[in-house]
Each structure stands twice: as C-alpha cells, then as structure tokens.
Amino acid sequence: MKNSKNSKLRIIPLGGLEAIGMNITAFEYGDSIIVVDCGLAFPEDDMYGIDLCVPVITYLQENAEKVKGFFITHGHEDHIGALPYVLLEVNVPIYATRLTIALIEHKLEEHNLLGTVKRKVVKYGQHINLGEFRVEFIKTNHSIQDAAALAIYSPVGVVVHTGDFKVDYTPVYGDAIDLQRFGELGKKGVLAIMCDSTNAERPGFTMSERKVGKTFEGIFSDHEKQRIIIATFASNVDRVQQIINTANKFGRKVVVEGRSMVNIISIASDLGYLDIPDNTLIDVEELRNYPDDRMVLITTGSQGEPLAALSRMANGSHKKVKISPNDLIVFSSNPIPGNEKAVSKIINELYRLSADVIFQDTHVSGHACQEEIKLIYSLLHPKYSIPVHGEFKHRKAQAQLARELGMPKENILMLSSGDVLEIDEDSAEVTDKVAAGSVFVDGLGIGDVGNIVMRDRQHLAEDGIIIVVLTLESGTGQVLAGPDIVSRGFVYVRGSESLMEEMQEVLNRTVFDLADRRVTDWTRIKSTIKDVLSDHVWKRTMRRPMIIPIIMEV
C-alpha cells in the first residue's frame, strides 16, 4: 500500500449525519471503495404511506467497479436494514461478526438474495484486506451482541470508526470492550476518529446492562400476583436474557410476542447467544393454561409502533392477548427522539384498561455518554475528529468534547451527508458533494414515490380532493352531461349543502361561458375550471383542495 503523490483518502458519508438512522459511509482510495454500514430510517409523521427510507447510493452505482465490500458494525436496522435494497444495485461481499451475519442472512432470505450475496463471518482481531484497505474488527459493547468498532488502515493512515458503542465493564454476555486494542492503536497513531454521538449531550457514564437485571428482580418480587408484560427492543438480546433469567428464578413461564422478537430470539439462541432453560418458553396458545402469577410476556412495541404486538394489545385488536387490570406492563426502553407521542398514547390506553405501567429505571442506553467518549479519544489520540451517528445537536456536543480535550477547532470536521472529505496527515477538507438523501420504500415499490408524489399526498391529507366530471359531444364540444362534483376529504357533503350548491353554480356558469365563447381546447377548459373553482373555494373555506377536472367525449 504505497502512498502515491497527491493521493488522499476520501470519506463520503451517504447518510446517518442528519438524524438517528440510515448510517452508511464510503471510504475511497485510488480504485478501491469500501462501505461501512448500510442502514435504513423509519418515516417521519408527514411521509404518508411510506414504510421506510433507504439511502441514495448513486455514487456507489456510478463507481460500482471500485466497490469491494460492505463492513457492518452491528445488527441493528439503522445499520443493516437497507442491505437487501442496496445489494440489488451493488452486489459485493458483506463482512461482519457472527450474530450480525446471521441477522443479515435472515433479511436476505426474506428478499430471496441468500444465494447471490457473499457473506464472511469475521472474528475480533481479524484483519480483512480489500484493495487499498485493511480493516480490523475490534470488540465493543452495545445493546446488541457482537458489536464491533473498525480500524480502517489506508495508505495515508488509520481511521477508527467506533460503530455504536458503550463501555460496559460487566456485560451480560461475552467480554468487555477491548480498550487495550484502542490504546495500542493510539500509540501507533490514528489519523481520524468517527465516533458515535447519540449520547454526547449526557454527562457521566452509561450504566451497565446488568443494572437492569437487578431492577427486574425488584419488579418481579413486588408484583408476585400479577401477569408481567415487558416491552423492549427485539434486538436487545442481553435484556431478553435477563428477563428470562428473572422469570426462571421466580418460577414463571415466558411467552415471546412480535415477529421481530421471535425471529431474533430464535437466531440468537441457535447461535448460543441466549441461554434459555428447558421448559421456560411456551407458545402464546398455551397462555390460558397458566395463572397470571406464572406468566411473563416479552413483546415488541416499546416505541409505540402502531402495528407492533403491544399496540394491538392496548387497542384490543390482538387475537391472543387481552390486557386486564391484573397486568403489569413494563416499558424496558426509552422513546427514540420523535416517538414520545406514540409511546405516551400507548401508556394512556393501557391505563384506561386499568393495567399498571412502569416506564422508569428499567432501561440503560447502548450508547456512550461523555466520559466514555472522552476515554476513547484519550486512548486513540486522533489527529482529526469526525462526529457521526446522531442529529446535528448530538454531533455538535461531541465536537465540544473534542475541543475540551485539546483538539484544534480546524481538526474537528462537521460533515453533511454527501460531503466528500479528502484527508491525509497534512490536511482535511471537503472538496466535493455527491448525491445523498432518502429513497422511499412503499409496499413493493422502491423509489417510485418521489418528492412530487409526497407533496401530492400531503396536499390530499391536508385539504382533500374535488373531482369535476364533464361530458362533451365530439365534434361540436356541446355539454351533454355535468359538470358533476365528487369530493373526498374536503367537507362532509351532507352538512355542507349550501357550499356544494354554490360550487355547482360557479361551475355551471364557467362551463356555459366557455361554451358561449366556443372554447373547445380541453387543456384550456380544464385550467379555467380549476382556477375558477379554486378561487371560489379558497374565498369560502380558506382551503386549497386538489381539483381534478375530467372531460369525457361521446
């Protein structure tokens, strides 16, 4: 890996820098590109009908012959969720740790891609050589097993990408984060750090996952007569393990509800990441065979997702589980920014059903707080800082930490998705911009819903639609039928007869005026109807429904 003159490492984040989600970054040197993570984002409230968002990868498509592989830090949706969509365009091998690969394989199987995509399981400490790059996987802790940081060796220096991480000295499963390796890398010299910013605003340390286990024991002993329902993230295998351990200790059976929860638990237990005592797990069908004080349900829906198991239980649409006053529901998670309203709604619905709810002190974060971020910086001594993973305010908080640790302001690089950062030992600057952003996935369609369609959906959702139907005689252009008005989502017709009559009169006048002036051009007729009706409706209602004139010829 010789350092040719004028060659710099190009770091190109294609997502993950404006919000929590859709993490994907390309590293380019010479004729080699490697990609770290490939995540999705969930839709905002105003993205009507959209299921999920995946990153724009135009740059990777245009340089497909250079792309050597995907390196995945861990198995969360915001880091692996877009792979099935992106691999359709850029099919290269995937490198990740054991559980992460298993979760990716489950996704590929659902999209019929398992036979066409190469995967390689990587162990901690292993180095993968691809083109101009060498990538080392380093053990970290997170809220899912097998999380890794990546040391990316390039001809101009080493970049350490932390992935999502925390420092947990007493993890539930496996070893603590490999701080020694970070220290060794720091001694040799690190060009730049790309560090998780999610909790960069929070002082102190993130608590150990084991702390939640002790909390569960207290909850179980205080509520011995109640059925306990615990909602948590499906991917938090350690949390699930602690719930199972506590249930077993108190002689309770466990039911797992929610498709993603069932999938991850079966994958994790098959690989040995979950230790489930015999005769502990039972099927949801067997619930009725056990009294409340012998049951624990582990369920999805801790973020208030409308179709998740807990939401269906709360609104009474779950076929197998009905909430009763003898139920205790534990939210073992914090609302992700933006989900607070949805979570609050579920809690209110559960209280209405007279259930007990606990939503405090039953969760610890999987992300590093300020002291852990400082620790990693102190071990690595990076020359440059590139805060990643989080909203702008989170990344800005990390930039402030880097300043406090003595890093010069000009060495802290606040990038936006699509920026091309050219970096070497002597300089780091943004030199270009490439296409970046979201592609909407709606049902089976990928990218067929764009900004114009979204604008129409918002328009329809806000003000509704009016359709005007008119039948003209071919040749003469004489009005044979209509104009008739059909409206949806604009006003309730039966309660607004006078407005509908006014609109009808305005239309009749407009159409007969056009006929008197012998206007037969359809485009002109349509635009006149649209303009006149739109003006009248705005004056009367201060609304702008979508108006669609339809002309038929007989």
Q: Would you say 65 and 133 are in contact if contact means Cβ atoms under 8 Å apart?
A: no
Strand 428-433 and strand 419-423: the pairing is antiparallel
Q: What is the DSSP string of 135-167?
A: EEEEE-B-SSTT-EEEEEEETTEEEEE--S-B-
Name residue, tokens 């077993």: 248
367 is catalytic: yes
Name residue, tokens 């933006």: 338
User: How far is the C-alpha of 371 from the C-alpha of 387, rounded, in Å?
Assistant: 15
- Which string of b and e fits 413-451 if b means at least 16 CB within 10 Å? bebebbbbbbbbeeebebeeebebebbbbbeeebeebee
- The separation between the first and the last C-alpha atoms of the chain, rounded to the nearest angstrom, is 75
Q: Would you say 151 and 189 are in contact if contact means Cβ atoms under 8 Å apart?
A: no
Q: What is the DSSP string of 41-81?
A: BPPPTTSTT--EEEE--HHHHHTTTTEEEEE-----HHHHT
Residue of 164, 196, 327, 442 with catalytic role: 196
Please state the separation of Cα 293 from the chain's center in Å.
36
Give the amino acid at 427. Answer: S
Q: Would you say 441 and 54 are in contact if contact means Cβ atoms under 8 Å apart?
A: yes
User: How far is the C-alpha of 72 from the C-alpha of 80, rounded, in Å?
Assistant: 7
Residue of 76, 142, 363, 367 with catalytic role: 367
Residues serving a catalytic function are 196, 367
